[in-house]
Amino acid sequence: MATTGSRSTLVLVYLTVAVLVSPALSAPLDGAGFHSATCPQLESIVFSSVQAALQREVALAAGLLRIFFHDCFPQGCDASVYLKGRGTEQAMGPNTTLQPRALQLVEDIRAKVHAACGPTVSCADISALATRDAVVLSGGPNYTVPQGQFDSLAPASQNVVNGLPSPATSSVSALARAFSGKGLRDLADLVALSGAHTVGRTGCPFFRDRAQRMDDAFSRRLAANCSAAPNRLQNLDVVTPDLFDNGYYKALVNSQGVFTSDMVLIKDRTTAPIVQQFARNKDAFFAQFAKSMAKLATAPRPGGNVGEIRRNCFSPNALRAIDTVVEAGEEEGFTASA
């Protein structure tokens, strides 16, 4: 049975560790080379890890891209989407189908990086680098990744996460408003970032609205396929589904977009010329995609670049410290009711 004095000591240690183990940090962003002095192996560790993972499962490229977008769009690229548990972003509607293996891949890379360099690189930076490398290894463009992001101390709110654009969005103006609020004010940003759909697959519930309209041959085919096999996965790019190229835009020109939000890009007079340009010219798409990804990587964070470097991407450092102290207390004979 613990004494009152012992319990007081444990509470003091508990609170001290929670506050001091991970003080909030802040810093401006920098370009490539930010970690060159503290972790020169960083980029080679990330690249080799992503390369090995994609050789086992090509679908991880799309998983990483979707996670990166769902992380950066609500409150900037702060790895908040990686947090697990009650009230976290992963439990919120738009994120419940994020790819678990891609989330785990980033945590696995974090463990390798921290083993080599110590806790000098954030999960946010590793996620950004892993996403870039997945694009490159899938055939897409290389681009500079802004580095120096800190990991958030808490998830984004439900209201903010619900602001993620829906695949059922039926107007370019609605999509443009959502993107503009994140510093992506050029319609070319909207069209180029939608081009991430050049890799990946989705389930029937996500394009049910498009299939049910049956207003063209492709939507009727989608409806028939889902009626025959409701659990099937549909390629988002029906031209070259596993390559990062401009096949997605070629499909749109032929009215073969899977999501309603894809099809509005070719139907709206303000974005159709951009879609047609990217369908004709892969280099034009690659150049704009690289530019738009760099802009997305610096999407505004409401409180600025403030946070920590997590020792585990799935949990804030303070929470991990509390768990450690509680476990230590239980080993000494303390209990939650003592």
Q: Please give the annotated binding residues, written as ranges.
A: 71, 76, 78, 80, 89, 165, 197-198, 237, 240, 245
CB atoms within 10 A of CB 224: 12
Q: Which residues are annotated as a binding site for substrate?
A: 165
Query: 70 catalytic, yes or no?
Result: yes
Consecutive H or E run containing 235:
strand 233-235
User: C-alpha distances in angstroms, 202 versus 48, 65, 254, 300, 316?
Assistant: 27, 14, 20, 29, 31
Q: Which residues are annotated as a binding site for Ca(2+)?
A: 71, 76, 78, 80, 89, 198, 237, 240, 245
Consecutive H or E run containing 201:
strand 201-203
In contact, 197 and 262? CB cutoff 8 Å: yes
Query: What six digits make up the tokens of 185?
Result: 């004010």
Secondary structure (3-state) at 174: helix
Position of tokens 């439990």? 91
Distance CA 298, CA 78 (A): 10
CB atoms within 10 A of CB 272: 17
Position of tokens 């029937």? 204
User: C-alpha distances in angstroms, 111 versus 108, 114, 133?
Assistant: 5, 5, 18
Query: What six digits make up the tokens of 77?
Result: 């690229």
Distance CA 60, CA 99 (A): 8
Selecting among 35, 70, 210, 282, the annotated active-site residue is 70
Distance CA 161, CA 89 (A): 7
Kindly list the catalytic residues.
Answer: 70
